[in-house]
Amino acid sequence: MSVTAAIGFSAAGVAAGIKPDALDVAVIVADAPSPTAGVFTLNQAAAAPVVLDRESLGRSALKRGIVINSGCANAATGDQGIANGVAMAGTLADQIGCERGDVLVSSTGTIGPQLPMDLVLPGIRSAASRRSPTEESATLAARAILTTDSVVKQSVVRSNGWVVGGMSKGSGMVRPNMATMLAFLTTDALVEPTVLNDILRAAVEVSFNSLNIDGCESTNDSVIAMASGASHIVPDHDEFAAAMEEVCRDLALQMAADAEGTSRVVTINLTGGADDADSRALGRTVADSALVRSSFYGGDVNWGRILGALGTSAIDIDPGRITVEYEGVVVFERGMGAGFDEAALLETIETGDFSITIDMGSGDGRARVVTTDLTPEYVAFNGERS
């Protein structure tokens, strides 16, 4: 159960025909107007749904529903794309008895084609009529938002009388500031819109914005949270922030594990930066390196590539202060390679997931960046349009 775990929400997923033989339209509906927050791509070629949602949330933070389609990104579609997004929101609004401006829209899929509205609008009506607060309906919605994903991605955290649940999609073209990913969170905690917005942004920064699968930012990525308040409980601020962060981190890890054509997840723990922002930026620089990620594929303890990547950062570094560890084994220290049992360490990281810790030795900053290896299968997978 994910987006229906919280009281006050229903969901559905249906096959409208955008994709052959697959679910491709989902709805999430709140029982009443609910505080809503969103974090969106920084890509300057943002898709029509992102443009519309930013404008909508700028007018009002109270929303009733979200309609999502997969199989077509509705990106680079001009004025017609905007009109199609408006029509999608209006169709769900008509079905649930609210204003068009009370509905947000998300799309994911191939960039360029126009949405087949003769299929999409009936699909929205069907999804709205089938929505329910059940676990099955939540899973159908989670399946309907997938594109190249191989598994659904859902997460739930329960606390003192309130719940945070979420679903996401994304398995490639994912980079800090998100990309080709969508995530939708619901909670029945009683929170003000500004609080929800601040906590969501903080949670996104340490989860989806700390995930790098292939260094590409896309046009559609969005994270949207809705708070029904149906539990009638005002949560402790820190507990609520921790729950939101936990759900986002869990979904981000599920995305990494399902990454296109990859074989392992690598967690980079960056400590000792001047502050958390610098630490995150340095970790992203390492994860951006095709050379570094190729070494991950080979299970190679190639600390030289990590040091080289760090050296390309705009942030000043002192190699003489840096320490690098693979699975707790120090391999680089104080400006030079450290002695270690290379055969034993290679055996440890030859297959499966592993972690690297990089201590910059400059401050108290900390960050965690999740990435994957770079494989021949990834190149083959992305050699064709998806």
Question: Could you tell me which of 93, 89, 99, 46 has the C-alpha nearest to residue 222?
Answer: 46
Active site residue 147: no
Q: Identity (one letter) of the amino acid at 10?
A: S
Q: What's the Cα-to-Cα distance from 131 to each of 12, 62, 125, 147, 267, rounded to whole Å?
A: 4, 20, 10, 21, 38
Do 31 and 9 meet the contact criterion of CB atoms below 8 Å apart?
Answer: yes
Q: Identity (one letter) of the amino acid at 7?
A: I
**Which one from 4, 36, 108, 180 is the annotated catalytic residue?**
180
Residues catalogued as catalytic: 180
